[in-house]
Structure 1
Amino acid sequence: MNLDKSTLPPRLEESVPLELFKAEVQAWAERIGVTPKSITFRPMKRKWASCSSKGHLTFDTELLYQTAEVRRRVIVHELLHLKIPNHGPLFKALEKAYLEDA
């Protein structure tokens, strides 16, 4: 996923409500067929999100100020790590398929 924070347009002035973001994550989780153990938010300097090996997802609070497209790409990327822990060919193919379908 190539979503470098420095190349994105300016952040939205208003944030998406936290519960709406979590609902987006849950909807995508159902579509992909995974169940995250937890969904948390905190400021992150270098990345948009992370996925632990135990299934805990952490998202950068700045994502709440990004467009639906950026949020969708980050959400799909992290949820796919619950199925595939690396960025190999299968991961990239699934990511492309889910993002092109949306």
Structure 2
Amino acid sequence: MSVRKLFARKPEPLPDTFTLDIGGEEIPVRVTRNARAKRYLLRIPADSRGPVLTVPQNGTFETALEFAERHRGWLAEKLKQRPETTGLREGASIPLRGVEHTIVRTGRLRGLVEVTDGGENPEIRVPGAEEHLARKLTDWLKREARADLETAVDRHAQNIPKKPSGITVRDTTSRWGSCASNGRLSFSWRLVLAPADILDYVAAHEVAHLIEMNHGPRFWALCRRLAPHTDEARRWLKHNGSRLHHIG
């Protein structure tokens, strides 16, 4: 072991959170240390759990606080722009495959989740007690997402020489999909909330990674061949994706 490593200073412990006064409201800020980070970074992730302050490996909490104070105005503006969270509760309106639906309890204790698409007010009808509504609806949305994604992935995989080894559906917040080196594809269940062509693009994107594990020119050429609406879908996700993460 080198002398440098032997006497390397251990990073000081950091609190999990601290609060920052934004317009008279105490906003909790999560703190995380990242050994690869070169600088302090304040960001608001796509999820609805609030701001995150990243601290470099040898950074200090004192400097982190000073950094957050300097960026208080920026944070206040970003928080104002953030979409409101929509809970999965009776009467709430959520998109399903891009179409707004009202959540309605059926009043029955048993039964299946049903969708009524007729008329001007489509509904998602959920059985069971009120306290179980969010869980039942989330489970149903995940199943619907898996079915749509399996169909889309299978269709796109017919046009390349490699096939995925499996599909996983999760509640990811940093990306809409991913492709592992073993060929397993992973997707966010929230894609079922987006219009069908957006889900189709993300499926094509990850299928293209089975051939090109990068984002170089050949990858994008293949992605656009599989999904000609790639550019439009990317713009849609950039402008509308944040809302999907604030549902549920």
Q: TM-score range by the shorter chain?
A: 0.7 to 0.9
**What residue is the counterpart of 2:190 in the other structure?**
62
TM-score (structure 2 length as normaliser): 0.35
Counterpart position of 1:20: 148
Larger helix fraction of residues: 1
| 1:11 and 2:95 matched | yes
Three-state SS of the structure 2 residue aligned to 1:45 is: coil
Find the counterpart in structure 2 of residue 80 from structure 1.
208
Which amino acid in 2 is paired with 1:43?
Answer: D
Q: C-alpha distance in 1, partners of 2:199/2:161?
A: 19
- Residue 36 (structure 1) aligns with: 164
Determine which structure has greater relative contact order: mean sequence separation of CA pairs < 8 Å that are 6+ residues apart, divided by chain length. 1
| Higher Cα Rg, which structure | 2
Alignment match, 2:116:
none
The 4+ residue runs of structure 1 with deviation greater than 2 A are 10-21, 31-34
5+ residue gaps in structure 2? Answer: 1-45, 47-81, 83-93, 102-123, 125-140, 230-248
Query: 1:30-84: per-residue Cα shift (whole Å, max 9, x none)?
Result: 1233310010101001110111011010110101221111011100100000000
Structure 1: give runs of 5+ residues left out of the alignment: none
In 2, the alpha carbon distance for the partners of 1:67 and 1:32 equals 25
2:178 is paired with a residue whose SS is: strand
Does structure 1 conserve the Cα–Cα contact (< 8 Å) formed by 2:178 and 2:185? yes
* TM-score normalized with structure 1 length: 0.78
Quote the sequence identity (%): 31
What is the Cα-based RMSD across aligned positions, in Å?
2.5
SS of aligned partner of 2:185: strand
Equivalences, count: 95
Residue 91 of structure 1 pairs with residue 219 of structure 2: yes
Looking at secondary structure, tell me which structure has more strand per residue: 2
